[in-house]
Amino acid sequence: MNLSQLPKGGQATVLSVIDDCAHDAIAHRLRELGFVVGASVKILAKGFLGGNPLVVRVGNTRFALRKKEAQRIQVVTSL
């Protein structure tokens, strides 16, 4: 599943960030910001309808992401 499918309050571990196109600058930036394999994430807030945009905590930092950005991040829910 990807990050945008997590519910509010949901926690998960990042598997990978998938490039949407060749040389995807947004995906590269996401990786730089800490969305790398093994990073744990938690959804802190979601927008009104469709949960767009959302706020996610990765490590000690909170980021606001749009759905299209969140869909690049593949996660697996922690058990």
Of residues 42 through 71, those in contact with other proteins by CB under 8 A are: 44-48, 52-53, 55, 59-66, 68-69
Contact status, residue 68 vs residue 54, Cβ threshold 8 Å: no
Q: Binding to other proteins by residue 14, rule CB under 8 A?
A: no
Which stretch of DSSP H or E encloses residue 77? Answer: strand 73-77
Q: Binding to other proteins by residue 40, rule CB under 8 A?
A: no
- Closest contact distance (angstroms) between CB of 49 and other proteins is 9
Task: Return residues touching other proteins (CB under 8 A).
Answer: 20, 25-26, 28-34, 36-37, 44-48, 52-53, 55, 59-66, 68-69
